[in-house]
Structure 1
Amino acid sequence: MSAVFVAGEVAGRAVPVVAGVLGAGGVAVASLPSRVRMRAELRRRWRTWALSAPLFIGAFFVGRAGAFALAAGLGVVAVGEYARMAGLPRAERAVLVAAAIAVPGAALAGPDPRTTGALLVLAVLAAVCAGDAEQGFTRASRTLFGLLWIPVSLSGLVLLGDTALAVGVAVAFGDVGAWFGGTALGRRGPLARRLSPLSPNKTWAGVAGAAAATAAALAAVGAFTPVLWAAVLAGCVLGDLVESMVKREAGVKDAGSWLPGFGGLLDRIDSLLVALLLVMVVTL
């Protein structure tokens, strides 16, 4: 399967699907009684969804240039949050910011390992040139991880075409499905078992909810295949755990505090990053 598989279908189907779900969700959260503990939090999240969904979908209506602008914008903010959590010096931060723009930019001409290879060298070179014998390897490793996790993953928004839009919609639905699944089924029984010590609130019930929601989303936008669904679902599960691992070592609860209902941008796109990377592996 290639990115052409859903070309022309996803954009047209995504708008009514997302608008319908946002409309229904808005009515639902507005109707919540005051005694519901998470009412304020859910309303903040809905407002963030309502603002971010048109920006995300709208970028794909502009074409590849719009996808590049979206990837670069998300990447610059995300690497800034990651660099703060990882405690990276200024030189490594500059490499990651440059990569956030250069890697999706290079993807406009198609997959190009030369750009990524050059940035991988730069990621190591900063610590080597600094002569850091105490933290150099840690600095270089964290920079390399950040480069692969964020800019390389976000280049999928350009390389995958409309398939990237299908992935974005499915991941968003998957996050909501995981929350509903964990809330409804995650209290007792075999599905209540914790998924990983990295994220104690994540259960197998949440995985079941994400599986159902991602399948429904891909089908709704005309992009369902078993391979694509498996890659998106794996991204939803692993993405959250990867960011939890980073945050736990950094000793922070959220990657930021500016995005209402979520924390930081990385808290919102962690699943999307891994999903895009896995979809590129199985489709390109």
Structure 2
Amino acid sequence: MSALLEAEEAFGRALPVVAGALAVAGAAVAVLPAGVTARRELRRAWGTSVVAALLFFAALYPVDSPGPLLLPAVLGLVAVAEYAALLRLARGERVVLGVAAVLVPPLAYVAHVLPEEVRFDLRFPALVLVACVLAAVLSGDPARAGERAARTVFGVLWIPLTLSGLLVLEGTAIAVVVAVAFGDVAAWCGGALLARLGGGLARPLSRLSPDRTWAHVLTGGMGVAVGLGAVGGFTVSLWAAVLCGCVVGGLLGSALTREAGAEGTGSWLPGFGGLLGRLGSLLSALPLAMLVAL
């Protein structure tokens, strides 16, 4: 049973909330003393966040414009490029991921709005699966063909298919994006402070990311609740879905970069590194949100 927010209502609520949060964060960053070692990076991160928010809301306004259809494709193209570079995938796999980034979200949306009796069709996912495998098979790389095929399939599922949630979730997608942003910031700021108190909250969640503790989960959960509530989308099930997505996405991103022996997914985004690293929580939160909201 669908329980989605109206896109216009969510947009109207989210815009002043995000603007206010950025204004408060900007004031806090501006008064940081010169002795704070991370001051320069925090200012760069704030500037990047402002630009990202402007682009995000510009893409959504008006809500019936082509912008919402283009947003997943643009994000997906950048994210799959970083993913392929991180895992050293070959040209064939990069082409498959790029095509999927452009085609999967709008096709998923079309399938979502079709009548139920004609909605489910296995031909397109079967074609995507064959394309992912074929690129690896034709590479003539017996040492890594299976690994490359598996990583391409996962890349399509994790990035283009997940980003289709920005379309099918309608206004709820805006609430999820805001909640993920609030949750990530709250986990980064509050988690570091609470972890210093020691005890159970300072225990790492997983060996995949020793820096992420239960304190990060606690404060991240608070941030997610505030973000959902501010946009008018709070329900216990959606809160749990987004929080779990933030946690799983953070651990998965850390695991991928550690496996690749990299510091991050990129270095072009001032204050953050790469786009895929910033999207990690969202890419896990969106599919869980679709499970509870659609």
Q: Distance in 2 between matches of 1:35 and 1:129?
A: 56
The aligned amino acid for 1:91 is G
CA drift of 1:205 comes to 0.5
CA contact (8 A) 1:57 1:165 kept: no
2:14: which partner in 1?
14
* Counterpart selection for 1:208 from 205, 214, 218: 218
| Structure 2 stretches lacking a partner, 5+ long | 113-119
- Please state whether the residue corresponding to 1:262 is helix, strand or coil: coil
Indicate the SS of the match to 1:241. Answer: helix
Question: Please, which of 179, 183, 206 is the counterpart of residue 174 of structure 1?
Answer: 183
Match of 1:220 in 2: 230
Counterparts of 2:186 and 2:88 in 1: how far apart (Å)?
33
CA–CA distance in 2 between the matches of 1:259 and 1:84? 16
Structure 1 equivalent of residue 258 of structure 2: 248
Of residues 64-73 and 150-159 in structure 1, the stretch that sits farther from structure 2 once superposed is 64-73
Does the 8 Å contact 1:3/1:161 carry over to 2?
Answer: no
**Partners of 2:180 and 2:43 in 1: CA distance:** 20
Between stretches 108-117 and 268-277, larger displacement belongs to 108-117
Does the alignment pair 1:54 with 2:57?
no
| Counterpart for residue 73 of structure 1 | 74
Match of 1:115 in 2: 124
**Following TM superposition, by how much is the alpha carbon of 1:37 offset from its aligned partner in structure 2, in angstroms?**
2.0
Conserved? CA contact 2:4–2:293, under 8 Å: no
The answer for the alignment partner of 1:83 in structure 2 is: 84
Query: Which of 268, 289, 292 matches 1:279?
Result: 289
Which residue does the alignment assign to 2:116?
A: none
**How far is 1:6 from its partner?**
4.1
Distance (Å, rounded) in 1 between the aligned partners of 2:4 and 2:203: 39
- Residue 34 of structure 1 is matched in structure 2 by 34
Q: Equivalent pairs: percent with the same residue?
A: 54
Q: Give me the CA root mean square deviation.
A: 1.5
Matches of 1:41 and 1:183 in 2, distance apart?
17
Moved >6 Å (runs of 4+) = none
Going from structure 1 to structure 2, the CA distance change for 1:227 and 1:99 (only over 3 Å counts) comes to same
Query: Separation in 2 of the partners of 1:252 and 1:87?
Result: 12
Q: 1:181 is paired with a residue of what secondary structure?
A: helix
Q: TM-score normalized by structure 2?
A: 0.92
In the alignment, which residue of structure 2 is the partner of 1:98? 99
Unaligned runs of 5+ in 1: none
Q: Deviations over 1:62-99 (max 9, x none)?
A: 33632221100000000000001111110000000000
CA distance in 2, matches of 1:262, 1:141: 28
Partners of 1:62 and 1:130 in 2: how far apart? 44
Q: What is the match of residue 128 of structure 1? A: 137
Q: What SS does structure 1 have at the residue aligned with 2:268?
A: coil
Equivalence for 2:43: 43
SS in 2 for 1:130: coil
